[in-house]
Structure 1
Amino acid sequence: MNVLNSLAGIALLVAAAPSYGANVRCDHCGESAAQSLAQSMGPGDHVVFSLSQNVAYAYSNECDPSTPGFDPATALLCVFPRQLTSGEAEEFALAHLIYVQTGGSMKFERNVPIRDIEPPRLSRRLRTLRGLEHEQIGEVRTRGA
């Protein structure tokens, strides 16, 4: 009986194990290339997206290359297209919006007038040294006058 409980526990752990996935940008991938890329990433739910083409492909990869008898020639048969989740779709839409707004650079730039830039503050020690230096110069000038 204990053996059956142990086996049931192991089966539960295996069934509950998370499948890891990845989001990969591939701006020149079509659907078949995206599927091949998802297959190469191993087991899990993957999203392959192109910001320049405004398309995202979602796949569920159920292949495990470490499984005995795994045949790489038929690996694409266990990579299935799936719908993007609402979270994935929202993230992709936001990424595409930023891509469009930045002209494809994905970098924001802001021009700031020089008068609005505050110069870096001097360290206390440097201010102290500068203050002593000015006092000494002032004293020398005063004595020499």
Structure 2
Amino acid sequence: MQSHGSLKNLCFVAIISSVAVFVLGETFCNKCQSTDVKCLNETHFSLCTESVAPDQVISCPDGQICTGLKKICMPRGSTEPSCPTDADVTCPSCNGSTLFVCTSRTTFQMCNGDKLTSQVTKCKDNTYCAISGKKFCVDRCEALKSGIQCNRESPLEL
């Protein structure tokens, strides 16, 4: 009977360890995970393999999030995303010397001094905001080469 108790304790330790590895080790954005997937945000990912171009961005189906689990996309609410929406969100702000700023990956707004105006302008499909490159919107490849200027899913409400 003592070996049954030891086996039970060993299984418990193994389960807790694997959960800790997942929670502590794979909750980062833009980091290749053990599944050879890199979650770029809550709903998009790319593959970490030499046989696929690194600029290929794949979207999870509607209502699903990118995870570090074997099933890459899971229904929203069933588990925590590997790259939560609020993680590492960086977007430029109006500083008094800029005329426009990106307010999400696919939108930009005009600045009035250090304040945003209310009009949100959307880039064409399959393009990303690229104000600092003196273009308003560029294709995915160009955006990934120069860096996404705002990784927010949608602009903040005013």
TM over 0.5: no
Looking at secondary structure, tell me which structure has more helix per residue. Answer: 1
TM range (shorter): 0.3 to 0.5
Looking at secondary structure, tell me which structure has more strand per residue. Answer: 2
TM-score normalised by the chain length of structure 2 = 0.30
